[in-house]
Amino acid sequence: MSGFKAFILRGNVVDMAVGVVMGAAFGTVVTGFVKDLLTPFIAAVVGKPDFSAIAFTINGSRFLIGEFINAAVSFLLIASAIYFFVVLPVNTLMARLQPPPPPSVKKCPECLSDIALAARRCAFCTSPISA
């Protein structure tokens, strides 16, 4: 039983459980945003927000293509909302917070061309480079 307790209380299991709960809560928020704001906006622009009535029948089998269209539109709206309102701002913020990479080249004092930091002589003008 102590091994199971150590497994459950390990940091990554607890972090994953918190992530799942937060993901479910965030999914509810995004679904509400799409259902209550984006779908009515599309209905105002296009004029028809619900495609569930679109269907066809072949040999007595009814194909509800409208339900599939509704699901596809809902998926695209949710995916675009997550990308533009979560992924893009977080990536921009993370890029701003990361320090710039250290320089890998320096300028030659004679010809001002880029040379490697460890170079002792310029490959372009062959002048010696002081350390």
The domain locations on the chain are 2-97, 102-131
Portion of the chain with pLDDT greater than 70, in percent? 93
* CATH class assigned to 2-97: mainly alpha
For 54-86, write each residue's pLDDT tens digit.
Answer: 888 999 999 888 888 878 887 887 788 888 888
Question: Between these two residues, 41 and 125, which has the higher pLDDT value?
Answer: 125
What pLDDT sits at residue 92?
Answer: 92
* Res. 101 pLDDT band, cuts 50 70 90: confident
DSSP secondary structure string for all residues of 29-91: HHHHHIIIIIHHHHHHHHS----TT--EEETTEEE-HHHHHHHHHHHHHHHHHHIIIIIHHHH
